[in-house]
Amino acid sequence: MSFPTDRPRRLRRSEPLRALVRETRLDPGDFVLPLFAVSGKGVKNPVPSMPGVAQLSVDLLVEEARAAFNAGVPAVILFGIPQKKDPIGSSAWIEPIPAAVKALKDAMPSLLVMADVCMCEYTDHGHCGELRADGTVDNDKTLPLLGRAARAYAEAGADVVAPSDMMDGRVAFIRRALDESGLGDTAILSYAVKYASAFYGPFRAAAGSAPSFGDRKGYQMDPANVREARREALLDLDEGADMLMVKPALPFLDVIAEVRRLTDRPLAAYNVSGEYAMLKAAAQNGWLEERRATLEILTGIKRAGADFILSYSATEAARWLSA
Ligand code: PBG
């Protein structure tokens, strides 16, 4: 059966028909809002390259999370900007994250609180772990640092810890560290497939985590690879990850689809800072319709296979969807 009998336009004639046959539906419950925590009170440092995003002290962070929660966003993920940085990033387990987690859970027990686990915001050199003399990251020396941070966040009440450092073996190490401390109920969302991407630029300004020399290509993945994504995903599942993530989202929709086919475990995608920044910039110039473009991007990420999406647009998108 073909034209003129078969006419796909018949099902596009009206919004009720389009809605009936819609294959992908976005819901506020699909979103996780990333938040940047700093110590102190009443502190709000806007991030110039990410309009609408700011580093927030814990009191204001709770208000921001409450606004998201009230809009239907079920979860936040926390990044910390410490007062002190050192070669091993020891503020990771000290401040500001444990207090931020506790404040959020005290204020909103049913808000899901995820804590990103990585050393780059806490090290004075900006790399994601402890360095060797030659300036490369020492994988196995970094694992105990990650384990210690994950334990501190879980103890503070985080529902989920999310390692984003790309060290080999960190999921197994963190799982064991949690289990040995009686924190067996804390879930691990692994940034299993994380590329060395240009789209993290605005985040690094927001988190003060740009490497002071070199780049992250020695530990993050080459954007040209998808078979390697399968390998990373399988390894992390084997090590005990409860959920996997692909990051960034837009240049890697095929990778999201590939990992979706590989596992039945929940899959997340991170609609990263650079993706947010370019859309905001175009919208501010009147070059793109912000609401339609944002929802189209989020729909595309979900259609590719993500169960949930980390996005700086979470609260706005949730409000648009409920309007
Ligand atoms: C690492 C981390 C990064 C992001 C999340 N976790 C940056 C990096 O690897 O340099 C990026 C998120 C974004 O760009 O929105 N701690």
Structural contact between residues 128 and 88, judged by C-beta atoms closer than 8 angstroms:
no
**Residue whose CA is closest, atom 2 of ligand 1?**
164
pLDDT in tens, 45-98: 999 999 999 999 999 999 999 999 999 999 999 999 999 999 999 999 999 999
**Residue whose CA is closest, atom 8 of ligand 1?**
200
Report the separation in Å between the CA atom of 10 and the middle of ligand 1, taken as the mean of its atom positions.
44
The reported pLDDT for the residue numbered 109 is: 98
Residue 154 identity (one-letter amino acid): A
pLDDT in tens, 274-320: 999 999 999 999 999 999 999 999 999 999 999 999 999 999 999 99
Is 204 a pocket residue for ligand 1 (Cβ < 6 Å)?
Answer: yes
The reported pLDDT for the residue numbered 53 is: 98
Q: Does domain 24-322 have CATH number 3.20.20.70?
A: yes
Cα 212 to Cα 254: distance, rounded to the nearest angstrom = 32
pLDDT in tens, 170-189: 999 999 999 999 999 999 99
The mean of the pLDDT values for the chain is: 97
Is 195 a pocket residue for ligand 1 (Cβ < 6 Å)?
Answer: no
Residue linked to tokens 């690879």: 225
Q: What is the pTM of this model?
A: 0.97
Give the contacts of 196 (CB within 8 A, at least 6 positions apart): 215, 216, 217, 220, 221, 222, 223
The reported pLDDT for the residue numbered 244 is: 98
**Residue whose CA is closest, atom 11 of ligand 1?**
200
Mutate to test the pocket of ligand 1, among 55, 203, 220, 313 (most ligand atoms within 8 A of CB): 203
At 140, the pLDDT band (50, 70, 90 cuts) reads very high
The reported pLDDT for the residue numbered 1 is: 85
For residues 178-201, average pLDDT: 98
Structural contact between residues 177 and 186, judged by C-beta atoms closer than 8 angstroms:
no
Structural contact between residues 165 and 242, judged by C-beta atoms closer than 8 angstroms:
no
For residues 206-224, average pLDDT: 95
Which residue from 169, 173, 218, 211 is spatially nearest to 192, judged by alpha carbons?
169
